[in-house]
Structure formats: structure tokens, C-alpha cells
A and B are shown apart, each in its own frame.
Chain A
Amino acid sequence: MKNQFLKLPIIIFFIILFIFFYLLIIDRNPSKVPSALLNKSVPSFNAETLFKNKKFSSSEEFGGQVILVNFFATWCKPCRNEHVFIKRFAEDQNIKVIGINYKDDAEKAIEWLKKLGNPYSSVAIDKNGKIAIDWGVYGIPETFIVNSKGKIKYRHVGAITAKRYKKINQIIKEIE
């Protein structure tokens, strides 16, 4: 009886370790957060744009094809890390990517994109974070997949890594 009792700590410990291990190896994304906007139309908004000085109007931009919407800023380190993948979406996969420059300095953003390359078809300026609030963004970077009917199909919170890049590509293929 006593011997059985002594094995209890190790049993409990290994159950906990097993849960950790399971969560580590499954294709899990701790930053996948359900969005209230899933399967809803994109929130409509108008904004200034970087570069082109023309107005950005969501009603003109969305629809007709699968579009990625990427919230970024020059002050955000993970945004810099994921930038190569954003570029690969635009260049290798030929996907239209709309950038939303969140609470940032326009001049700096332009300089940043010149240096790192600009994958965005257009960049809306979200100076005070209002667009981000409408989209339910809680921390950048965040990336949304919008289908050809202008409905939000997927949300990714945090930087896109190599593994996520593949996954998002797969989702885009499915949506198409």
C-alpha cells in the first residue's frame, strides 16, 4: 500500500509533462485567437495611404480575390522578423497584401519599406489605431485572410514564422 502511494509524485509529474509535450508537438498555435469577425465582412474604413497620397477606401479594395491584411509598424520588432514572409506572399505566391501601418510615423514607415522592400499593394495609415480597434486587433503584428467575397476567413496573431507561412499558404489554397 505504502509503495503505491510513493509512486504518486512521479505519476502526477509525468502526466503534467505529457500534457506539455502533447501541446508542444501538435500543430498548435498559442497565438491563434478566435476572432469575433470570422466569416463576417471586413469592417469598412477610409484612410490616408503611404506613398500614393490617395485615399484608401475599403469598399474599393476588397473582393474579387483572396487578400491578406497585415497590421504592422516600424517600432515593432516581430514585424521586422515576419517581413520576409509577407514579401514571399506577395512575390512568390502572387497574393495581394494590404498593409495597415499602425500608430506609426509615416516618414519612418516609408524609409523602412524602402530598405526592406515593399510587398504591399497599398498601405493604409492607422495613425490613432482606430482601424485596428474595428478589426479587433490587440497586438501587432496581426494578419487576416479575406476571401474573394470580402469575408474574413482566418486571423493570425503574432509574427509569421516559417511553419506558419506554410500553414497560411495552405489555408489560402483551400479558400481559393
Chain B
Amino acid sequence: MAPTLGNLALWLSLVFAGLQLYNTRKKKKFKIIAISVKGLLISSLFSFFLLIYLHVISDFSVLNVFQNSHTTKPLFYKITAVWGNHEGSMLLWIIVLTIFNYFIFKLYNKKNFIFVSKALEIQSFISLGFIIFTILTSNPFERIVPTQENGLGFNPILQDPALAIHPPLLYIGYVGLSAAFSISVATLALENGEKFPWYIYMKPFVMVSWTFLTIGIALGSLWAYYELGWGGWWFWDPVENASFMPWLLGTALLHSLIIVEKKQSLQAWVLLLSILAFLLSVVGTFLVRSGILTSVHTFALDPTRGVYILLFIAILSGYSLMLFSSKSKIYFTNNYFNFFSKEGAILVNNIIMVVACATVLLGTIYPLLIEALTNNKISIGEPYYNSTVVPIMLPALFIMGVGPILSWGNDSGLRIAKRISPTFLITLLMTIIIFLIYKSYTFLGIAGIIIAFWIIFNNLTILYRNKFSNLTGMVVAHLGVGFLILGITASSIWQVEKIIKMKLKTETEINEYQVIFNKINEVKGANYLALRGDFLIYNKEKKIIAKLQPENRFYPVTGNFTSEASIHTNLFRDLYIVLGEGNINDGWTIRLYYNPLVIWIWIGALTMFLGGIISINKSLRKIIE
């Protein structure tokens, strides 16, 4: 019964999306459009909740539930398994699309009927594409005959709170860009020129996307950090890149929208950026879903899905980019910027973000390009990105430190120097102090630390001088970037790794800490069995500061082994222990990491998120006015 209803709701949302396309195209009355928008929202939400329900009651007559669930699984993970697989995550993508669709609809007022209708028309086309894709190639309500007794279980390394909410957050980010795309295409198609303030409509969507992409990516990396047990938090995996590229373009978009708002220039550039940002999100989906490249995230190898998404991208990009090349002329303005001004700084930031995005894109698709041309397989990894993207980003980050202090229009070098000199001194001082503590020098290390303190203190100064103003959101977000850079730099250049074999009751040292392998026990969890090590950590004064208990877990249902790192965190460093293979006679392989300041990566991301939330509020108020 429920699966049939779910299927029906999915088909209904297809009908409503079609109706919305038709009604907005024919410029029907507001009431008629309202029915299709609300119908689409309700029917897609209904089918999504039905899928959750099927997972909760473990209805194994549904293929999707059978393949991804098991009766022994905790309720929370029964729910999150809904979007932990391909079919369910497509359904999630659809409901986020229709929610944004509804928000665009809410923008209607007396003056903007034609514009919002056009945006809704584009948005309904995107929804249609994804709904048809889901129904044809990835229907989550497909049945399995005969009904199975129990499910195959769910990959245990995905059973994690951070990863449970990572996809929804990331999807809000990706799909929010669809709204910016629709607004951009509507603006180009309507040709009403600079007279209509389309950018005010676009801004909150870009804000929401950027904010949620930031926190979504951060949660993914946090998960990778404590769950994969490799001591690292970013691996330049194609799927990570797929989320990083829209983020870079989103960042550029966010900043150039400010210029458009203040100076009405750069309009054509912003229209292009918003189109590309969403297209890259869909390309990201394609890379992940088509199985065209292999990565730790590869979900499904199904070429028909790939061909479908590709066709859809071709239509979207063909239409939007053609429109851009033929109709963007009126949005070009010949404005010249003073280099020492806020807009000058933002422009440099823009160029760098786009170059960085292109570099990541090149690294991601280059192996495919080479394979298509020469039939050879190559792989591109960390060394490429570290030696290209990192240096490209450095000047942008440096300018970011001063950007908020600069004034609009014209600023003089002397005045700037006066404003930044206190920060300059504190930065210098802090950098010297931190290098006295860690005593290891590399060019990137020094540059990273200086930039981090530079950004942090400049923004703290602004925050202190202006108290709460309409700058607060931006300043808080920038402060977050400072923390983030501090964490990234310190944990990359001063990480200590130690891999040794330890027997029970033996001890070892890492940095100034003494680690004693005290016990090993078997423990039983909700749906796993585990071997749990017991390590005592002593500091220099021979006091116990922590008891770390890394585990090796076995999940009988899926037959997976996972290792759970155990981490002791404070603001200065993480101690990270992973229990490896071994036995009582030979001892166990133990991996120990000392990760300085690593927590600041996520404090930074969280601060950026908060800054984003504050700014969303502000940009929403502007539309209402």
C-alpha cells in the first residue's frame, strides 16, 4: 500500500511540475500558478515521508529498503539511510528543489509578476528533469519479489551523526544555486535590462547556498577525519572536488553580487557566474552518479543514468549559455575600478576564486581527458592540488584580510596603512610566538600562519570598532576563514605521525605525551561487536590527562570491519589513536597522530556558517523592503 502511494505521489509531483511549467509559460493567473507550486511541494514531500516511513517500518518488499536497511539498525540510521543511497538521495534532491521553488514563489509581489513567473518556469523545468530521471532510472519505490525476510544492511562507516546530516546540508547548498540559475536565466530571457533589480532577488539564495555548502563540506571533512582513521581531513577526492568547485564559484558570486548592488556594474559577470555555479553542481552529481570515475564515494555504476544526466546538462547548459552569449550585451558596463578600494579587492578575489575553480576542474577531469585521447589511465592526487590550488589561494586570502577595512570608491595608501598598522604588529607578534613554540619552518607554513592571524585580527578589530552593524555577518564569516586557515596550516605542517607495534602494558611517546597501552576488551554495541583498546595518556608532569579507547568494529549483518579512531581534543591539539590489526602475542599495530590546532578548522567553518546565517537574514530584509 505505502509503496504504491509513494510511487503515486512521485508521479503526482511530475504532473504538478509539468503544470507549473505550462502555467508560468502561458502567464496564467497567480491563483493557478499557486496551485501547481503548492501541489508540487506537497506531493514531493509526501513521497519523501513515505520513503522514510517504509524505512522505519522495515518494509523489505521495497528494493531500496531491502538493499540499505536491516531490522537491527538503530532508528536514527534507519531514517538517515533514506538519503544514504542513490535513489533516496535523488528524492531528497527533488524535495529541496521544490522547497526552493516554493521560496521563489513567495517572492511574488505586485511589481514582479512577469519576472518571478519566468524564474518559476525555469525552476519547474529543472524539477521536471530530476523527477523524470528519478522515475525512469532510480525509482526508490521499486518492489522486490518475493518479499525478503531481512535487509542487506547499511554500510557501517556511513552510520554516523555527522554523515547523517551531511547530504541534506550539502543539497541545500547545491540546489540553492538552482534558484540563482533560474533567476539569472529569467533575467537574460526577459531582457528588461538593468532597470529591474534582479540581483536583490538572487542574493538570499546565493547566501543560503554558500552557507549550507560551507557547513555541509565541513561536516563531510569532519567525518572523514574521525571515521576513516587516516588522520587527515581532506583528500582531494573527485567527489570532494565536486562540492568544492560550486563553493568557490559561490564565494565569487556572493562577493560580486555586493558590487552589483552598490555600483550596478559587473552584472554580466554575475549572470554568468550564477549559471556556471549551478551547472557545476549538476556536473558534480553526474561525476558521482554515473560511475565515470572511481572514487571512495562511487555509488553506482550505471551508464544509462549517466547518459540521462548528461543529456539534461546539455539542455540546461546549451540553453542558458546560448542565452548568455546572445543577450548579455546590455548588462555590460564599462566601469573602471580603483585598485585600492573595496571593489578592487573583491574583483581580485573573484578572479582568484574562478582560477582556483578552473584548476580544480582541470585536475578532476584531466584523467578523463587523457583517457579519452590516449586510452591511458592516470590519476591526479594531492600533490597536484597542493602545489597549484594552495598558492593560487594565498593572495586572495591576504587581500581578504584587508578587504573589509577598505572603503568603497577611492582609498589612499596612507589611510589604509594607518588602519591596518595595529593588526600588522599583532600579526607579526603572534606569528613569532607560534613559531617559537613549534620550531619548524616552511614557506607555506609561514605564509599560512601570517595570513591566518592577519585575517583574524583585522576582523576582530572591525568587530570591536563597529559593534553590531550590518557588517556583522560578513565580518564573522571572514573571522571564520581566519580560524580555518590557522587550523589547516598548523595541522598540515606540524602534524606528527607514529605507526608502531605495541604489546599490552607497553608504552610509547608522541610529542610530550606518554602513551600506555593498558587493556584490550571485547565489547558489544547495538549492531556490532568490537575490540576496544584502552590507552592512558600522561603529560609531562606524569598526570593522566585522557583515556583513549579506539575500537575495531565488526558488523555481522554487512560483514564489514571498521575502525573507530579515538581522539582527545582541546583548542591546541588533537591526540588521535587508531587500533590496527594484531593479536595478544605479537601486539597490535597502533597509529598515533599529534594534530596541532586542527579543531580550528571546524570552529572556523562553524563561524563561517554563523556569519552566513546572519547575512541571510539581512539580505532577506532587503527584498521585503
Q: List residues of A whose CB falls within 8 A of some B CB.
A: 2-3, 6-7, 9-10, 13-14, 16-17, 19-25, 28, 30-31, 33-34, 73-77, 104, 108, 158, 161
Contacts and interface: CB of A to CB of B under 8 A. Distances in A.
Given A20-B368, A158-B301, A10 B321 contact: yes
B317 interface: yes
B318 interface: yes
Contacts of B276: 9
A50 to B, nearest CB: 16
Nearest to B325: A6
Interface in B486-504: none
B182 interface: no
A20 B290 CA distance: 10
Interface of B: 67, 152, 272, 275-276, 279, 283, 286, 290-294, 301, 303, 306-307, 310, 313-314, 317-318, 321-322, 324-326, 328-329, 332, 365, 368-369, 371-372, 377, 558-560
Contacts of A9: 272, 275-276, 321, 324-325
A2 B325 CA distance: 10
A17 B559 contact: no
B377 A20 contact: no
Contacts, number: 81
Given A9-B272, A76-B559, A23 B314 contact: no
A167 B182 CA distance: 44
A53 to B, nearest CB: 24
Given A19-B365, A20-B292, A75 B377 contact: no
A13 B371 contact: no
Contacts of B294: 30-31
Contacts of B314: 14, 17
Nearest to B327: A6
Given A9-B324, A17-B310, A161-B301, 9 more contacts: A3-B325, A6-B325, A10-B322, A19-B365, A22-B372, A24-B310, A28-B371, A77-B152, A108-B559
Interface centre among A3, A10, A34 (most CB of B within 10 A): A10
A76 B290 CA distance: 21
A16 B325 contact: no
Interface centre among B290, B291, B301 (most CB of A within 10 A): B301
A169 to B, nearest CB: 19
Contact of A13 (B67, B292, B303, B321): B321
B559 A75 contact: yes
B317 A14 contact: yes
Nearest to B311: A21
30 contacts: A2-B329, A2-B332, A3-B325, A6-B326, A6-B328, A6-B329, A9-B324, A9-B325, A10-B321, A10-B325, A13-B279, A13-B317, A16-B365, A17-B317, A19-B369, A19-B372, A20-B290, A20-B306, A20-B310, A21-B310, A23-B368, A25-B303, A28-B371, A30-B291, A30-B292, A30-B293, A30-B294, A30-B301, A75-B559, A75-B560
B356 to A, nearest CB: 17
Contacts of B558: 75, 77
Nearest to A24: B306
Contacts of B560: 75
